[in-house]
Chains A and B, each alone.
Chain A
Amino acid sequence: MTSDDPRPPPRRRLSDALGPNALKGLFWQVLVVGIAVAVIAFLWSNTVTNLSARRITTGFAFLGREAGMPIADSLLSYNPRDSYLWAFAVGVANTLRVAVIGIVLATVLGTLVGISRLSANWLLSRLAAVYVETLRDIPLLLQLLFWYVLMQALPAARAAWRPFEGVFLSNRGLILPAIPVGSPQLWVLGTAVLGLAVFYLIRRWQIAQQMRDGKPRPAWPFAIGLIVALPALVSVLLGVSWTIEWPALRGFNFVGGLTLAPEYFALVIALVTYTSAFIAEIVRSGIQSVPRGQWDAANALGLRRSFMLRQIILPQALRVIVPPMTSQYLNLTKNSSLAVAIGYQDVVSIANTTLNQTGQAIEAIALIMAVFLTISLSISFFMNWYNSRIALVER
């Protein structure tokens, strides 16, 4: 876009800036802004009149009041006597629980399907293509309702399916064995996270060293030491118990274990399968965008296939993959709002109930928008940072 012309641009004079073009521009801007302001003022005055006619007070004071709505499935502890503010927080936590798990699973599944589509195995690549085409061309809401109906059609708790020992699948959802996590266990997990962070720093230093002298340095002793051995040592020293809690059927319901409610389970399955079809296409186009010469060169060097993929193909493919992947993550997060259709209480569903109970439409919708704008901006901020890190540095 930049020109190679070495001459400096002509100096602008005041008369240019206020010439007929500038006046025209000013006219258009005043016109458009004027229309926008007039429309907003019109809507605003109507709203104020309507609200006062209906005796609805505006403002966020209602957030402190007792919510009184039941929330069946929540990550944070909640009871109906809590405030609307806390109900919203519970809703946000539920939305994040779907979005984070969904993004991770959809990325894994989508990558697998995308690579399968490029497989030399005709059957595998055809199956992957059918998977992508089918899921992409059916509305997500329809798929969600379909999964939900299937969940409800599962046998009752007493006749639950047991694909593995301790795993129950019934119309109460998926019940898994779980390890109850209290504060001693959290200490061990904290050590593991710390170990991971230290390992990351060491690995960076190792790569920097290798860049200087070209000698590869093994990373695995540090990985085992910091991420496995250190937490294990802490666990033994503190005497933390890691007993697995096996779910069991008592009477009409399950006791113990981790329960994934049918609504949550259906929502995650629908979001993951739907989004993975789009991610598969992104991964495929990313891998195909790596010029054939790169494969040939790596083959000529006699590199192992896994090393070739990891060190040569993927870093180049990621440049093509990351930007569209960001929009898929955003889509998945926004699509989690479809939860309202099957009664999983995410932030949209809770805001909707609040709106019906209190009549505070503007505030409820403003809260939904604020939550999603914050999540969207954080995801795109993080992905843009990641993108700028992996982007091609042109000299």
Chain B
Amino acid sequence: MTAIADIPDAPRAARRPQIGNPVLRWLRTNLFSSIPNGILSVVLLAVLGKGIFSFVQWGIANAVWLTPANDSSACRAVRGVGACWAIIPEKYRFILFGTYPFDEQWRPALSVLVFITLFYVSTRRALWRRELAYLWIGALALISVLMWGGVFGLSFVSQDRWGGLPVTLILATFGLAFGFPLGILVALGRRSTLPAIRSLSVLYVELIRGVPLVSLLFMASVMFPLFMPNGFNIDKLLRAQIAIILFAGAYLAEVIRGGLQAVPRGQYEAADALGLSYWRKHRLIVLPQAIRHVIPPLVNTFIAFFKDTSLVLIIGIFDLLTTAKTAIIDPGWQQFSVEVYIFVAAIYFVFCFAMSRYSRSLEATGGR
């Protein structure tokens, strides 16, 4: 993955001598370098123009932006010719926070802000120090207090009323926070010389990666109660969270294993020569190098994983996608689901695109 940057581009059409108007020159090299290319450009421009024109017509020119509360008649009048963006101001609080008590919704909103700050701080390479771990613990504790309440004069809100964006962020962040150390342990286990530990790790990774996440979630929602002693029942959200952690652990383990393989043998030998114990050798010498090698694929795994949390819809947990789907069950607004899906897609897109840009910048600097 990292090697792509230093490989030359595929050849491009021979450049023409650079004379004349810069705009014409640009058009000539980039759009009309040959006759087939010119035809292609014209066709693409026509299709693109048509597409943009229809979208502007539907999404802007004929769209309804605001309606009186709970009245979709204006939207129904333009159905088919214009978008109904009015459904977003009408429903955004439900989409973002689900059934969390209306007056207390500043708490999940603040939690989302804490999450975003936490992510932002974690991307600053200058701050990759031990203190960052404490910051994570502090921030996650703060979020728990905000969401649950019950202390500092905040009223208690039980977990089954949580919903929307905070739930998506909680599932993803806790999944990573616990899946990552699990992944490291399993990756080390897979490279261990001890046969029993190695086979257990291989079995775990292959079993989890061999089946769809949906079936793991079903297992969490249906079979987990069977696994537990009678009368001991844990919350549905926590069960899904456990399934997601196990899932993340297996995928992260494979990425980290790749990094471990890339650490030169001499590093292990040097650590052995210093007489370091197994754990100190890995903690101080091997793992920091291994993880640095695989930062771009790790970020890609994070992105995939962030998107995959949306699958909890299937077992009825109120994450962002579920609240969106629920918001459009309302009979008056049923026909405007495309608009709601575009809105939610934009939220997911912003998070994932930010991560993928970041991964690109890390790739460019080699994670240093």
Residue A47 lies at the interface, judged by CB distance under 8 Å to chain B: yes
Taken together as a complex, chains A and B put the C-alpha atoms of A32 and B196 apart, in Å, by 8
Residue A352 lies at the interface, judged by CB distance under 8 Å to chain B: yes
A residues near B314, Cβ cutoff 8 Å:
338, 340-341
Taken together as a complex, chains A and B put the C-alpha atoms of A28 and B279 apart, in Å, by 13
Residue tally, chain B, CB below 8 Å to A: 64
Residue B285 lies at the interface, judged by CB distance under 8 Å to chain A: no
Q: Contact: A46 with B337, CB < 8 Å?
A: no
Task: Tell me the residues in window 3-41 of chain A with beta carbons closer than 8 Å to chain B beta carbons.
Answer: 25, 28-29, 32-33, 36
Q: Contact: A146 with B226, CB < 8 Å?
A: no
Nearest residue (CB) in A for B356 is A137
CB distance from A312 to the nearest CB of B (A): 12
With beta carbons under 8 angstroms apart, the residue of B3, B209, B308 that contacts A139 is B308
A residues near B9, Cβ cutoff 8 Å:
118, 288, 292
B residues near A118, Cβ cutoff 8 Å:
9-10
Q: Contact: B44 with A142, CB < 8 Å?
A: no
Q: Contact: A145 with B196, CB < 8 Å?
A: no
Size class of the contact patch on chain A = 35 or more
CB distance from A1 to the nearest CB of B (A): 6
Q: Contact: A136 with B44, CB < 8 Å?
A: no
Q: Contact: A288 with B10, CB < 8 Å?
A: yes
Q: Assuming A137-B353, A292-B11, A369-B210, is B222 touching A361 (CB within 8 A)? A: yes
Q: Contact: A142 with B196, CB < 8 Å?
A: no
Q: Which of A119-127, A238-246, A381-389 contacts B (4 or more CB under 8 A)?
A: A119-127
Q: Contact: B31 with A122, CB < 8 Å?
A: yes
A residues near B174, Cβ cutoff 8 Å:
none
CB distance from A376 to the nearest CB of B (A): 5
CB distance from B167 to the nearest CB of A (A): 14
The winner among A1, A124, A290 for most chain B CB atoms within 10 A is A124
Q: Contact: A361 with B4, CB < 8 Å?
A: no
A residues near B200, Cβ cutoff 8 Å:
32-33, 36
Nearest residue (CB) in B for A287 is B10
Q: Contact: B212 with A335, CB < 8 Å?
A: yes
Q: Contact: B325 with A145, CB < 8 Å?
A: yes
Taken together as a complex, chains A and B put the C-alpha atoms of A285 and B5 apart, in Å, by 10
Nearest residue (CB) in B for A274 is B307
Interface of A is mostly: helix
Q: Contact: B311 with A334, CB < 8 Å?
A: no
CB distance from A289 to the nearest CB of B (A): 6
Task: Tell me the residues in window 260-298 of chain A with beta carbons closer than 8 Å to chain B beta carbons.
Answer: 285, 287-292, 295-296
Residue B116 lies at the interface, judged by CB distance under 8 Å to chain A: no
A residues near B218, Cβ cutoff 8 Å:
348, 352, 355, 365, 368
With beta carbons under 8 angstroms apart, the residue of B33, B222, B353 that contacts A355 is B222
Taken together as a complex, chains A and B put the C-alpha atoms of A69 and B322 apart, in Å, by 26
CB distance from B248 to the nearest CB of A (A): 15
B residues near A75, Cβ cutoff 8 Å:
none
Q: Contact: A120 with B13, CB < 8 Å?
A: yes
Q: Contact: B33 with A120, CB < 8 Å?
A: yes
Residue B12 lies at the interface, judged by CB distance under 8 Å to chain A: yes
CB distance from A310 to the nearest CB of B (A): 15
A residues near B313, Cβ cutoff 8 Å:
141, 341
Q: Contact: B215 with A348, CB < 8 Å?
A: yes
Would you mind naming 18 contact pairs between A and B with Cβ atoms under 8 Å apart? A49-B230, A121-B40, A124-B40, A136-B352, A137-B348, A138-B345, A139-B308, A142-B344, A142-B345, A145-B321, A145-B337, A146-B341, A290-B10, A295-B10, A340-B214, A352-B218, A369-B207, A373-B211
**5 other A-B residue contacts (CB within 8 Å) besides A141-B321, A149-B338:** A29-B194, A124-B40, A337-B212, A348-B218, A373-B210
List residues of A whose CB falls within 8 A of some B CB: 1, 25, 28-29, 32-33, 36, 43, 46-47, 49-51, 53, 118, 120-124, 127, 133-134, 136-143, 145-146, 149-150, 153, 285, 287-292, 295-296, 299, 334-335, 337-338, 340-341, 348, 352, 355, 361-362, 365, 368-369, 372-373, 376-377
